[in-house]
Homo-oligomer: A and B are copies of this chain.
């Protein structure tokens, strides 16, 4: 869908984001405790106590590659922009980004993203929580579609600016167990005029299981 929040994503700025309350997030690994000042939006892409050991291990691996390894960690907030002109919703009713709409850490989408511009890749480390259930014990197919759209979309935005999802095509190979950790790996394969062609695969944390294969076509917006 429309992704006209490029400014937010590209700059990692709080300019377009409603300030959040104070957040104290204690990581399950020692030494990674972060406390966010009042009025500063929380970056949900940092570890919290609900991340499992596989999630933390991958996080540390990618973080280590951010020092000269070509990767960078990108921020993740729970809002886009409020108070849209002419919004038919109650203007006093706060909106939330779909993937960050649950209050309790660990219940829903736990994820963080890393970007590699040279490789045109956006990688998302994803741990689905118990509130994302489809079949008993497993992640909902729509939830998987959501993290694919979000990851590939972020990759397209970082490379090309604002885009709109035009087509999403997913082959489901193996279900994803709730509480597990998977790697969502997207790549911009080709750009033709306004069309941005991406691929996205989801694999298990140890690369032994291919969960999904997908393509996502985006259209660049004129902004």
Q: Measuring CB to CB, which residues of chain A are less than 8 angstroms from any residue of chain B?
A: 1-5, 79-82, 84, 87-89, 93-99, 101-102, 107-108, 130-150, 153, 164-172, 175-180
Contact pick for A80, options B136, B145, B169, B180, CB 8 Å: B136
Chain B residue nearest in CB terms to A79: B133
Check A150–B146 contact: CB distance below 8 A. no
Contact A101 B102, CB 8 Å, known A136-B81, A136-B84, A167-B170: yes
User: Hey, which chain B residues are within 8 Å of A133, CB to CB?
Assistant: 79-80, 95-98
Most chain B CB within a 10 A radius of its CB, from A82, A165, A166:
A165
Check B136–A178 contact: CB distance below 8 A. no
User: What are 24 inter-chain pairs, A to B, with CB distance below 8 A?
Assistant: A1-B176, A2-B135, A2-B138, A3-B134, A4-B136, A5-B136, A82-B136, A84-B136, A87-B137, A94-B130, A97-B133, A97-B134, A98-B139, A98-B140, A101-B131, A140-B146, A140-B150, A142-B143, A142-B145, A145-B146, A145-B149, A145-B168, A167-B169, A168-B168
Check A149–B153 contact: CB distance below 8 A. no
* Bound CA–CA A87/B128 (angstroms): 13
Contact pick for A167, options B93, B99, B172, CB 8 Å: B172
User: Hey, which chain B residues are within 8 Å of A149, CB to CB?
Assistant: 140-142, 145
* Bound CA–CA A133/B135 (angstroms): 24
Check B168–A93 contact: CB distance below 8 A. no
Check B179–A144 contact: CB distance below 8 A. no
Known: A1-B135, A1-B141, A87-B178. 6 other contacts (CB 8 A): A2-B134, A2-B175, A98-B131, A143-B146, A164-B175, A168-B168
